[in-house]
Structure 1
Amino acid sequence: MTATLSARSAGSRSRSGPAGARRAGSQRRTVLLFIAPAAIGFLIFFGYPLIATVYFSFTRYDLVNPPRFIGFENYARMFTSEQLVGTAAYNTLWLVVVLTVCRVVFALGVASVIARLKAGVGLVRTLCYLPSLAPPAAATLAFVFLFNSEFGPVNRFLGLLGIDGGLWFNSPEMSKPALTLLALWGSGELMIILLAALLDVPVEQYEAAQLDGAGPLRRFWHVTVPSISPVLLFGVINSIIYALQFFTQAIVAASASAGTADVAGNSKLIGAPQNSTLTYPIWLYVQGFRYFNMGYAAAMAVLLFVVSAGFTWILVRQIRASQYQEEAA
């Protein structure tokens, strides 16, 4: 009897084998058909440009003559003979550290306040989010006017309080903090994401912590932060990439504070005042599209991509390691 059943099952498997294989093949083709547009778009708009950038980074190329292979000469130039690239890297690193911390803390603080409001939540949320919809160039021009050292409303208000407002965008020491304030003003998108994460924290956890005698700060640190840690990680990575690509606000602020809109026509306006707003992407743009050193600009772009990927990898590893330690404890 057992042998008969085994024979029948084997026969049924052999009969359904080719049909099952055909169905599996049809399903695979269907899946490939649906993902083909995204895959083709990825290869065209990311894969090919990335490979081309890496290739041009080992060449001398000016958009006119054919590229000529020069090995690691562009990379050696960045770390040896190039002077302004060090200044641009320092300014960008300053923004990465200060802007990232301030942006995440500010957005989390605003989201925490909104999450505790009892009335007018929709209006306050909308008002806090609207600045992020403003075009970067227009927002920067408005900020340059507001923080004008002579007739700006901010310095006038501070003067009524007996406080010297400073030169802001016209000062090498205050230009980067002013750009940071501009970035904080437009951080409504991150605030909305953190607000959604805060509202998703289970109320039962707060109640249990309160019954155990935990105060507001302990509840925030031991309940809120662990619950929204993946979203916080996203906010940190997003802010780091945002700072590494800081371009429009810095270049518009430099030209507007100098009293002209001619950004690319005069080298003295790039990074004004005194190269304090010269970020790494700005210098990359100048090298590639003003001096036509496309090979050198490609090498700078590759380095920027590697640094961005490195920051992301380190942060993800650290967060995962801390989560494993908490689960083990």
Structure 2
Amino acid sequence: MEERNETALSEFILLGFSSLGEKQKIFLFLILLLTYLITVMGNVVIIFIVWVDRRLHSPMYFFIVNLSFLEIWFTSVTSPKLMLDLLSISRTISFHGCMAQTFFYFTLGATEFTLLVVMSFDRYVAICCPLQYATIMNQRLCIQLVLGSWLGSFIVISVRMVLISKLRFCGPNVINHFFCDNTPLFLLSCTDTSGVRRADSILSTTIVLSSLCLIMLSYVSIFFSILRIPTTTGRQKAFATCGSHLTALALVYGSCIVLYARPSGSFSLDVNKGVALLNTVLYPFLNPFIYSLRNKTVKLALREAFGRGTKSCEMLLDSYR
């Protein structure tokens, strides 16, 4: 009976940003709603334009499409629930809903790191082995790399969830966060979490730092290859092809190292909430702009698609006149 009572917790309360005043909550809700809508529409546009424009049917844009698809779901794991909680008095989430949220958050996050490694490998082959690029980065390998990223992350985070599922929660049930992150969940457990904390810390650090090391190795090789290019124009063009990816890397790894690859207790949970908000909202929002506004081919494809759409609308209106 005692064990049943310890595991009978059916829901959690997400404290979120409850300390804000009502006007501040409404303002934050409107900002988050606008950001979420732009994020979804922007990433959908990237997926659509790559799909319809044959000039963008290359490995680099195939990986960008997968990243855009991932960002839509990554921000959807936390943003809708956060917006709902800002407007409601009850900020509860079921136990199973909480476990599902933390599972998808970390699975999509791990997949993002793996995709960024794959994209850095793609840039390495394009710049360091340009003559063999089409042969190496063939369609079969690209599909295998993407499927491996998704499947590998799913398996690794499933192992993590097995460890978390062994924890028991007997109250209190208030999570000092806007989603079910690992640190506040560990604080609520009524069992010894030292082993799970250690394993989770090792797993998170390994994913973040190992992927970062692989990316750095790729870019060190890229850097030295670019220096060997004889013309200034050629070097500038090579650097430009890596600019978008480097911007994405700075945003993603900067926030995640602060959140998960540092000693526990370095920052308060309130600081964690602010950094996590940037991680789950800001980068998915910036992703379409990073890969479109900094890319001449994408901008040209967008202008042409917009022009065709405008012309089609004008012809449709003329037919009704």
Q: Shared fold by TM > 0.5?
A: no
TM-score by structure 1 length? 0.28
Work out which of the two has the higher radius of gyration on C-alpha atoms and give 1 or 2.
1
TM-score by structure 2 length? 0.28
